[in-house]
């Protein structure tokens, strides 16, 4: 299901004067919300091989990036204006080597039971995991590219389910 913005949809984060506001979700029912996001980090083959061999100067690149992604999901409301603080019930970050890039595929899954969704938490998790991977390996290569940060799927809430179609899902 793909949703396109139409003029009939109201911008919920703007008040009558066009000023940013936090949406009041207190009248919404708490339901299970689930979101998956993904990203990738592309690098030189030599950099990829060094990380895979555990030869990065800063230590455990992938473990540190995975933990940073988990921590970031839990801090999303402190980082993104107007995001609600949510009771996060699950955050899982996976970083999978991809020799074809070469580099890494990053995926985050976030679950809550709340009045609003966790898409931003999943997107924040993959973004910070990718940034941390870059930081941990920048001594090996400064030309790494973080790319294709995207929402893969989400379930729950009034807007319904979403599943990314096509390339990059």
The torsion of the CA quartet 28, 76, 104, 96, rounded to 10 degrees, works out to -60
Please report how many Cα atoms fall inside a 13 Å half-sphere around the Cα of residue 75, on the Cβ side: 11
CB 134 within 8 A of CB 42: no
Strands 31-42 and 88-98: unpaired
CB 65 within 8 A of CB 146: no
CB 133 within 8 A of CB 40: no
From 15, 60, 135, 161, active-site residue: 135
- Is residue 98 part of the annotated active site? The answer reads no
- The residue behind tokens 């060094």 is 50
For 17, counting Cβ atoms within 10 Å of its Cβ (0-12 exposed, 13-18 middle, 19+ buried), the class is exposed
- Give the active site residues: 135
């Amino acid at each position: 299901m793909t949703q396109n913005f139409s003029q009939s949809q109201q911008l919920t984060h703007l008040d009558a004067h066009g000023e940013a506001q936090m949406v009041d979700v207190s009248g919404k029912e708490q339901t299970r919300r689930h979101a998956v996001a993904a990203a990738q980090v592309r690098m030189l083959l030599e950099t990829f091989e060094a990380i895979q061999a555990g030869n990065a100067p800063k230590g455990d690149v992938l473990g540190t990036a995975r933990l940073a992604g988990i921590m970031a999901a839990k801090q999303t409301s402190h980082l993104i204006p107007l995001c609600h603080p949510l009771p996060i019930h699950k955050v899982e970050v996976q970083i999978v080597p991809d020799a074809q890039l070469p580099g890494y595929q990053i995926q985050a899954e976030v679950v809550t039971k709340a009045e609003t969704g966790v898409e931003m938490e999943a997107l924040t998790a993959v973004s910070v995991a990718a940034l941390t991977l870059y930081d941990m390996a920048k001594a090996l290569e400064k030309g790494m590219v973080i790319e294709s940060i995207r929402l893969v799927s989400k379930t729950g809430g009034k807007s319904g389910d979403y599943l990314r179609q096509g390339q990059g899902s």
